[in-house]
Amino acid sequence: MVGLNIRSSVAAWAGVFLAIASWLCVIPARAAKKHRPHSSHKAAQAAHLARVAAKEKAAWRAHLAKLRDLPRRQRLAQKRHEKRLIKVLHTQHVAARAAQRERPAHEAKRIALARRHRPKQAQKPSVHPKRLAQQPVLHAKKVAQKAAPQSAHTKKLAALRAAHDARLSAHSARLARLQAAHGARLAAHNANLARQRAAHDARLRAHQQALAQKALSHQARLAQLRALHNARLAAQRSHWVALHGDGSGGRSIKFWQTVAAGVPVKCITVDLNDDNVKVSAVMARRGTGTSEPFRQMILRAQPNVAVTGTFFSLDNLRPIGDIVIDGSLIHFGGMGTALCVTPDNQAEMVTCEWGRHHDWSHYDFVVACGPRLLRRGRVVLDPRAERFRDRHMLAPNSRIAVGITRGNKVVFVMTKKPIYLGRLAKVMYAVGASEAMNLDAGTSTGFYYNGAVLAHPGRNLTNMIVVYGRRERYRRALPELAPAAYRRMDTHWSPRRVSQAGSPRMGG
């Protein structure tokens, strides 16, 4: 019985020891299992972080979309605020990463301490159950303490986002109010602009109607004035015809232009075969020794053709050659070559003897000038033999010449191009003259044809040659051709001999 009891007691104590040993081995394993985080907890935490990241990303995109609609000033302020916020978040993130880097070292230290104390715990079978129950709670507290900064940051970020959303909504509301006010002002402006455009169109139509009415009235008035002007012109023309005939040279006087011997010239041809044509001369109103403007002499004589006559002295204004008008010797010069026309319109050229009187009783008109250029179609230029010694006259100058053709026509030729007398003789031969002589020109160049002044002299003249296309017109103008004191002077009168010391200084 004793042996049985001993055996039974040994078996009982062995069972107790085995139970204690197994219990000591299970407790550290359970404790270690309780301290290790569960895999499901890690997955839940990862899903939660993914949801938070998605929400933050969506919120950030919405925030960027709202930010684009803000004005530039508010957008810049928002960007500065976000930069400050990102800086704060970066600082907190750096702190969290440092905490995460420290956490594995802390876990390794904790595991090493657990391993070190594990044999002692195995030797100490008595572990207080309350302490074992408190270990998961302490671990949760530590995890909560480590996660506290992250939750505070999340709360602060949420608060900032809420404040930003509130400001953004307020700004959107204010922007909507401003847009509504702007739309109202724009609508009012458009309405006012439409009213102004309508009023402007009405004024424009009224102005156009007024302009059209004025144009009509102006055209009517212009037509009336044109009719009055035409009637006045017709009356003046009829009055002129009643006083002076038809006012033209007829078919016997013609004006033409050409280039003769390489010189451009203006020509007037007078057909003396027409009995109505009359060639004469005009003296200054006060007679020998005086001068008169070219236009005034034309207005007084009313000719169809007027050209500069003979030379005259610049010292005493006396012509150098003889002048006969209507058979009367108006002036005696005693030199040069004379253009002579008989009462029956036969023209010829006569050389004057120096200082001697010539019998002009057979001629109705005589003007003596020179030097002579052509005789019977040949050049006979000899200025010194005719006592022409003025250097200015012999030098190149603008010229006027008169010639007689074989058909009893008188040709007046003018050129503004400065040429010598020899070139002028070739020009006269080229235009068809067989007899020709030079006339006064240069500064005294005057050339007139049927109301048109083709060349105006630069000084007053003492005489000029005129041509009439109608004898009635010549008879009406005859009292104006020479002063009364000089008319019907005896053409056989022999004046005293002119001094042969030299020719006077002549105009030209």
- The total of other beta-carbon atoms located within 10 Å of residue 147's CB is 14
Q: How far apart are CA 355 and CA 451, in angstroms?
A: 38
| DSSP secondary structure letters along 436-486 | EEEE--GGG--EEETTEEEE--SS-BSEEEEEES-HHHHHHHHHHHS-GGG
Mean pLDDT over each residue of the chain, to the nearest integer: 82
User: Can you give the pLDDT at residue 502?
Assistant: 40
Task: Assess whether pLDDT exceeds 70 at residue 499.
Answer: no
Domains in the chain: boundaries = 21-31+61-189, 253-486
Task: Count CA within 13 A, CB hemisphere, residue 249.
Answer: 25
- Find the mean pLDDT for residues 466-480: 92
The percentage of the chain sitting over the pLDDT mark of 70, rounded to a whole number, equals 78
What confidence score (pLDDT) does residue 55 get? Answer: 86
Q: Are 392 and 342 in contact (CB under 8 A)?
A: no
The residue with greater pLDDT, 251 or 455, is 455
Tell me what pLDDT residue 56 has. Answer: 84
pLDDT-based confidence at residue 65 (cuts at 50, 70, 90)? confident
The pLDDT value recorded for residue 128 is: 58
Cα 383 to the center of its chain, rounded Å: 60
DSSP 499: P
In this prediction, residue 264 carries a pLDDT of: 96
Q: Give the helix, strand, coil percentages of the chain, each rounded to 5.
A: 55, 20, 25
Q: Output the pLDDT for position 17.
A: 56
Asked if the model's pLDDT at residue 207 lies above 60, the reply is yes
Of 176-185, 229-238, 421-430, 488-497, give the lowest mean pLDDT range. 488-497
Cα–Cα distances (Å) from 31 to 17, 28, 109, 125, 276, in that order, read 21, 5, 16, 14, 161
Q: What is the CA radius of gyration of the chain?
A: 68
Between 95 and 493, residue with greater pLDDT: 95
Choice between 347 and 499, residue whose per-residue pLDDT is larger: 347
